[in-house]
């Protein structure tokens, strides 16, 4: 597939100030979220919940792509349509998480590496034949005393670049997702420095692997202090530091940056995205969202596993999608929150 076609797919996903719904939680992760609301973690409940999300009326106005896990990719709605078919009818791209999760790095205490490259070329070819247009691979970088090491950053950047090259070979747009975690007690400046270092390794590796930057989407963390930090930064400081990082680190050839929420609450993630777009104009990339929990928590709470609550769950999801789309254009206000 040509660079131009990959670029067109990437731009279509985030066109019209739309973002990406990350509905690719592992069975264990979705189980933890279900448990908060007393929902049994079985296949039918997982299928019913994802159907609630993808059949939400008018969601396509605000969400241009949905990332699935392997299980959900093959599931169907009650009327027999696959989720991919349903999304295609709405003009929404179907995506797939292709990494196999993180594992401890040998001889690197406290650090991890994302696995899943074995057999990836064959898997991607199969996904493309089923109508998948984009994929996601997440690298996880933790901040702690003396960490991360260059070994960790280099290894994860190499894996991200190999994944991205294989995706483009298969005609699939890769979402490149290096996540610097907001756990810990580090401050804003420390997050900035580690994020800058991380992105430097990532883009060096992408260049070395001949990845067409016009045909990717970047999914980074915002620059945010750790959850345990004594001083928590303002929304304005987070926005300014995040955009400064992007200007220093991300080539203008990249069509879009879809931020991850990374443990922020729904309202925090929306407010920070809005501040980024209000305070900074005329940037070379579209700045939008690729949220999981920060798009779903209200919907999951409203649904709580009950068929009678499907409409309530969809209303909650539709609102969060709309608010984040408004934030992507800098038009959100906290007064819009329920």
The pLDDT of 244-269, averaged and rounded, is: 97
- Cβ atoms of 242 and 287 within 8 Å: the answer is no
* Cα–chain center distance at 259: 7
pLDDT > 70 in the chain, percent: 100
Whole-number pLDDT of residue 291: 98
Three-class SS state of 255: coil
The pLDDT of 38-54, averaged and rounded, is: 98
Degrees (nearest 5) of the Cα angle 28, 34, 38? Answer: 135
DSSP assignment of 12-54:
HHHGGG-EEEEE---HHHHHHHHHTTT----HHHHHHHHHHHH
Tokens of 38: 């007393």
- Cβ atoms of 52 and 303 within 8 Å: the answer is yes
pLDDT per position as a tens digit, 58-89: 899 999 999 999 999 989 999 999 999 999 99
| 254: confidence class by pLDDT, cuts 50, 70, 90 | very high
User: Please, what is the end-to-end C-alpha distance for the chain in angstroms?
Assistant: 44
Degrees (nearest 5) of the Cα angle 193, 292, 254? Answer: 55
Whole-number pLDDT of residue 276: 98
Which single residue is written with the structure tokens 């920070």? Answer: 272
Closest of 292, 197, 198, 196 to residue 241, by C-alpha? 196
- Cβ atoms of 15 and 60 within 8 Å: the answer is no
d(C-alpha 98, C-alpha 234), whole Å: 35
pLDDT per position as a tens digit, 288-329: 999 999 999 999 999 999 999 999 999 999 999 999 999 999
Which single residue is written with the structure tokens 């501040």? Answer: 275
Which residues are the active-site residues?
219
Neighbours of 23 (CB within 10 A): 23
Question: What is the sign of the dihedral through the CA atoms of 5, 10, 13 and 15?
Answer: negative
Average pLDDT, the chain: 97
Q: Is the peptide bond before 148 cis (omega within 30 degrees of 0)?
A: yes
pLDDT per position as a tens digit, 118-141: 999 999 999 999 999 999 999 999
Does residue 96 carry a pLDDT above 80?
yes
Degrees (nearest 5) of the Cα angle 116, 120, 123? Answer: 120
Q: Which residues pair with 147 in a beta bridge?
A: 144
Contacts of 199 (CB under 8 A, 6+ apart): 178, 220, 245, 249, 250
Whole-number pLDDT of residue 267: 97
- Cβ atoms of 201 and 155 within 8 Å: the answer is no
Contacts of 173 (CB under 8 A, 6+ apart): 6, 9, 10, 13, 133, 134, 135, 167, 215, 216, 217
- Cβ atoms of 30 and 46 within 8 Å: the answer is yes
| 1: confidence class by pLDDT, cuts 50, 70, 90 | confident
Q: If one looks up domain 3-336 in CATH, what number appears? A: 3.20.20.70
pLDDT > 90 in the chain, percent: 99
Taking 3-state DSSP, the helix, strand and coil percentages for the chain, each rounded to the nearest 5, stand at 50, 15, 35
Three-class SS state of 104: strand
Closest of 138, 145, 148, 95 to residue 262, by C-alpha? 138
**Strands 286-291, 256-259: pairing kind:** parallel
Whole-number pLDDT of residue 262: 94
Radius of gyration of the chain (CA): 19
d(C-alpha 302, C-alpha 313), whole Å: 5
């Amino acid at each position: 597939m040509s660079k131009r076609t990959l670029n067109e797919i990437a731009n279509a996903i985030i066109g019209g100030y739309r973002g990406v719904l990350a509905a690719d939680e592992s069975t264990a992760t979705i189980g933890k979220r279900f448990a908060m609301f007393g929902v049994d973690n079985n296949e039918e409940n997982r299928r019913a919940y994802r159907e609630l999300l993808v059949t939400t009326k008018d969601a396509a106005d605000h969400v241009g792509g949905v990332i699935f896990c392997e299980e959900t990719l093959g599931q169907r709605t009650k009327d027999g349509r696959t989720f991919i078919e349903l999304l295609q009818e709405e003009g929404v791209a179907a995506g797939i998480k292709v990494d196999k999760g993180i594992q401890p790095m040998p001889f690197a205490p406290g650090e991890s590496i994302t696995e899943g490259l074995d057999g990836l070329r064959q898997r991607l070819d199969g996904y493309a034949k089923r109508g998948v247009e984009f994929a996601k691979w997440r690298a996880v970088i933790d901040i702690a005393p003396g960490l991360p090491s260059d070994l960790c950053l280099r290894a994860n950047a190499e894996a991200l670049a190999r994944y991205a090259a294989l995706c483009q070979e298969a005609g699939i747009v890769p979402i490149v997702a290096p996540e610097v975690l907001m756990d810990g007690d580090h401050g804003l400046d420390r997050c900035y420095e580690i994020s800058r270092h991380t992105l430097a390794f990532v883009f060096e590796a992408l260049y070395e692997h001949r990845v067409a930057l016009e045909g990717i989407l970047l999914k980074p963390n915002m620059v945010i202090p750790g959850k345990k930090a004594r001083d928590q930064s303002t929304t304005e400081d987070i926005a300014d530091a995040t955009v400064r990082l992007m200007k220093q680190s991300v080539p203008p050839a990249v069509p879009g940056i879809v931020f991850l929420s990374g443990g922020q609450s729904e309202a925090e993630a929306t407010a920070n995205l809005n501040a980024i777009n209000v305070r900074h104009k005329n940037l070379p990339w579209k700045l939008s969202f690729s949220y999981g929990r920060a798009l779903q928590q209200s919907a999951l709470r409203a649904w709580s596993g009950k068929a009678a609550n499907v409409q309530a769950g969809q209303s909650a999801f539709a609102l969060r999608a709309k608010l984040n789309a408004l934030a992507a254009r800098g038009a959100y206000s906290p007064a819009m929150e329920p």
